[in-house]
Chains A and B, each alone.
Chain A
Amino acid sequence: MKALVVDDDPITLTLLRDSLKYLGYEVATARNGREALAYLDKEPCRLIISDWVMPEMDGIALCKAIRERPIGGYVYIVLLTSKGGTTNLVEGYAAGADDFMSKPFEPAELNSRLRTARRILSLEGRDVTIFALARLAESRESDTGVHVERSRCFAQTLARDLAAAGKFTDEIDGEFIRLLYLTSPLHDIGKIGIPDSVLLKTDHLSDEEFETIKTHTTRGAVTLEEALRDFPEAKFLRMARDIVLNHHERYDGKGYPKGLAGEAIPLCARIYALADAYDALISRHVYRDAVDFEGARQIIAAERGKQFDPQIVDSFLRCEERFIELCKTTKDPSTQRELPEEA
């Protein structure tokens, strides 16, 4: 495992670097928070041990900056401190630190803190499980799993763009983007409860059958709601529930299951609704051919303020090229054959 040690004191830096190397870690070093962020821009690193008091950018500012960034996996941060007292610890936790270690550190303490870090980071295996379950649910309709992968990337792209454009700043931060990417593959988990005779039907669905299909939103949400009762603080469960239940709601209130409108629909579901719809448009189905990129763009744009949140449509129009790039890197046999000419 790689660890990034951040400290302005060269002696602490040397001591931690050599000790961690001795313990089998691959170690990178930085002399302040700014250097650490520059490193993280180039290299992924899941474990950071950082001093608190440093010139240019201290440990607290570094924690905040890392938590605000849309970094793919979780970064575990241990703050080194000679500061004591509850107030300081609260400040550290509020900034996003996961643990603290007093200076000068003791090897036994260092070891146990690192064990905890590895245990917490290993929980990210949970992410893999979620994705595997989502693909399993999708496998009844398609055997490629490309839809869940591609639509989560679309959703992540939209969320990043919205953040960069300064939209929904009270909701979108690094954690929101990470959770959206993590939980959106579960959007159709409720389809597990839909009979094959309805789900896999290639003819037109009767009204009754369509009503059955629509229950996949509530079926999935009920399951997640039960888990949420046991773990009410689990943000990933909350977002998963919101997406599963609301990704077929429409901005104009004509969607299902509840007919919610506008901002009454959770933001994560409004974002995912567009990502899901776009992927459905550019994919071939048994009942229709794939729409080309130009056609998909026109359809999405025409639904501005109707099916989709206007600000999210604007975001899509800003980053449509990125969507097309994603299609090129995650092609499957159902994706349209003709890609637009390169500019």
Chain B
Amino acid sequence: MNAINVEELLERCMGVHSIMETVLAEFRDLGEEMLRNIETRLDEGAWRKASEAAHSLKGASGNISAESLHALAAKMEICAEKADAEACNELRQVLRREMELCLHDISEILNDCPV
């Protein structure tokens, strides 16, 4: 299963490849930073800020149709809001793996895109 639902993403971008490429390139540049922000907030025990950071990742991943990442970020948002340290620790590992898959997929999609 692909980390990114390209068909859905392209539809969201009105079928315009250049919009899709711009959005994916933006996520490639920012995704890692967004994840690190969640991890930093969790390490600090700043639950509310961790939840807000997860909310941002949820929105961004939803927009690029990274469905699994979107679902995991949504879970993280809730767990952090509840200050559920155990659930957050489990989720951060899964979230990182999913982010790596996403970024890998994005590289491939951008390489395959017609110039």
A interface residues, Cβ below 8 angstroms from B: 7-12, 14-15, 18-19, 22-23, 51, 53, 55, 82, 103-107
Contact = CB atoms under 8 A, between A and B. Distances in A.
A145 B58 CA distance: 56
Given A11-B26, A11-B60, A11-B64, A104 B12 contact: yes
User: Size class of B's contact patch?
Assistant: 20 to 34
B73 to A, nearest CB: 11
A15 B56 contact: no
B115 interface: no
A53 B81 CA distance: 14
Contact of B12 (A7, A53, A106): A106
Interface string B16-58: 1011001100110010000000000000000000001001101
13 contacts: A10-B30, A11-B27, A11-B30, A18-B19, A22-B14, A22-B19, A23-B14, A82-B59, A104-B12, A104-B62, A104-B63, A104-B65, A106-B12
A103 B59 contact: yes
B13 interface: yes
Contacts of A55: 52
B11 interface: yes
Nearest to B15: A107
A104 B23 CA distance: 13
Contacts of A107: 11-14
A259 to B, nearest CB: 60
Nearest 6 CB-CB pairings of A with B: A104-B62, A11-B60, A18-B19, A104-B63, A9-B59, A15-B23
B63 A18 contact: no
A106 B65 CA distance: 11
Interface string B55-94: 1101110111100001000000000000000000000000
A320 B90 CA distance: 68
Contacts of A9: 56, 59-60, 63
A14 B22 contact: yes
Nearest to A11: B60
B58 A82 contact: yes
Contacts of B26: 10-11, 14
Given A9-B60, A104-B62, A15 B12 contact: yes
Nearest to A23: B14
A21 to B, nearest CB: 9
Given A10-B30, A22-B19, A15 B14 contact: no
B75 to A, nearest CB: 13
Given A15-B63, A18-B19, A103-B63, A53 B55 contact: yes
Contact of B16 (A11, A14, A22): A22
A15 B14 CA distance: 10
A236 to B, nearest CB: 37
B113 to A, nearest CB: 15
B22 A8 contact: no
B14 A19 contact: yes
A10 B57 CA distance: 11
A103 B55 contact: no
B14 A8 contact: no
Nearest to A7: B59
Contacts of B55: 53, 82
A288 B62 CA distance: 71
B105 to A, nearest CB: 15
Contacts of B62: 82, 103-104
